[in-house]
Amino acid sequence: MKKENNISYLGSEFLLWVLWKSATEETISLHNLGLGDIRISIEDSLTLESKIGDGYCETIKSPEILTLPSVRESIRLGRLPEAAKIRISSSELEWSFQVKAIPFKISSVKLPITGEKNENEMISVRLSAMTKLELIMKALFNSFLIERETPDFIDDIKDFLGIAK
């Protein structure tokens, strides 16, 4: 992956990592941070944008987005994830939201429904859920950055995409 002074490319690389992990691993362990096992997946919507000259951009909408050969083919052609709809679940909570790569940001967060009847309890639980999502996203991004620096990272991504070495 390209390294330069402007780090805006990390958002696209993170979304590519999420695509890879959600297609190949059932859970990501964040036990070392007290967050347990996390399931992450790209659902229903992925926007791929050309990073090499032609300016091509496509949004793929499908419930089978992780298994579509056209997604990997588009990435092989130089298009990287620009935006995606993400679902994260832990043992007791589940969130869905949009992630945009540049600028890297989360929006349209759907917080877990927990069923509290008391308004104060509901507010407290929702704030706690937002805090936990923030911790999970920071931990996932940190895991991505650590894994990105391993010697096999690029080869593993190429294997996932079906790119010859």
Give pTM, 2 decimals: 0.88
Which residues constitute the domain of residue 35?
Answer: 9-161
**Is residue 3, in this structure, part of any structural domain at all?**
no
Q: Domain total for the chain? A: 1
Mind listing the pLDDT tens digit for each residue in 11-68? 999 999 999 999 898 899 998 888 889 999 998 899 999 877 777 888 999 888 888 8
**Is residue 1, in this structure, part of any structural domain at all?**
no
- pLDDT bracket for residue 165 (50, 70, 90): low
**Is residue 4, in this structure, part of any structural domain at all?**
no
Give the helix ranges, DSSP H, for 5-163: 9-24, 69-76, 119-148, 153-161
**Is residue 82, in this structure, part of any structural domain at all?**
yes
CA 149 to chain centre: 18
**Is residue 28, in this structure, part of any structural domain at all?**
yes
**Is residue 87, in this structure, part of any structural domain at all?**
yes
Secondary structure (3-state) at 33: helix
In this structure, the dihedral spanned by the alpha carbons of residues 1, 158, 19 and 44, taken in order and rounded to 10 degrees, is 120
**How many Å is the Cα radius of gyration of the chain?**
17
